[in-house]
Amino acid sequence: MADCPTDEPCALLTWHLQHEVGLLFAIHQSLEGDHAGAGTLLRDLVRIDQALVRGAPNLLASVVGLTDLSAALDKASLIQHRLSAEPAGPARDAALIEIVATAEAVTVQPSDIQPALVNDYLIQRAAIDTLTHDAGLLFDAAATARVLDARFERRASRAAAGDLPGALGAGEVSQKDQFGWWFDNAGGKLVLDTLSWNPQTVREGLEANFEAIDDRRARILAH
């Protein structure tokens, strides 16, 4: 990871694969009777996952963090189910307590994607500033920046309110859908339309993972 900055896809993939290995090792530890080791590893992975979600450099990193957190809770639930069928004992009981404590510590929510939204906005703002000097007469940098600023404020507000679809731009209408859009700042509207790109898979990934995390956390706590 040292040669791969955390805001690059290669670092996210590397960490995701390491996380998968960590979960497999936690299962191995549990099967071998090292319940304390399995519980500690799961706890640490969940802590890292939540830290990634809350400090994600972009929305893709948010998806990775939430996917890994969901997977960690799923494995914790499987281990909990298996341990519950074993005879009571100090190591087994302590491991079950650790798993419940780990689930209780999971507090991620839609508002946690705000840092990722801020970082995406800053990248988009820099892109507009870069175009200022050579975009030609069809590009009004100031007008374009004002629309981008308003869009960011709207999305950040929705994220703070826990409205995940709204934070990801649900319900927004492209300026290119307006009749005669090309008469005024056509270049700026094209740029904004490109910068508003938010893959459906990212939206679906965020929404599905938040739901799965809630379900898996509740399953552990209800056991």
Name the residue type at position 95.
A
Query: Two tokens at 93?
Result: 């009981």
Count Cβ atoms below 10 Å from residue 127 Cβ, excluding itself: 13
Query: Two tokens at 6?
Result: 């955390």
pLDDT cut 90: percent of the chain above it:
41
pTM of the model: 0.81
The mean-pLDDT minimum among 13-17, 61-65, 171-175 falls in 171-175
In the chain, domain spans: 9-108+203-222, 114-198
Separation CA 136–CA 157 (nearest Å): 33
The mean-pLDDT minimum among 14-23, 125-134, 151-160, 213-222 falls in 125-134
CA angle 217, 220, 223 (to 5 degrees): 145
Predicted confidence at residue 174, as pLDDT, reads: 64
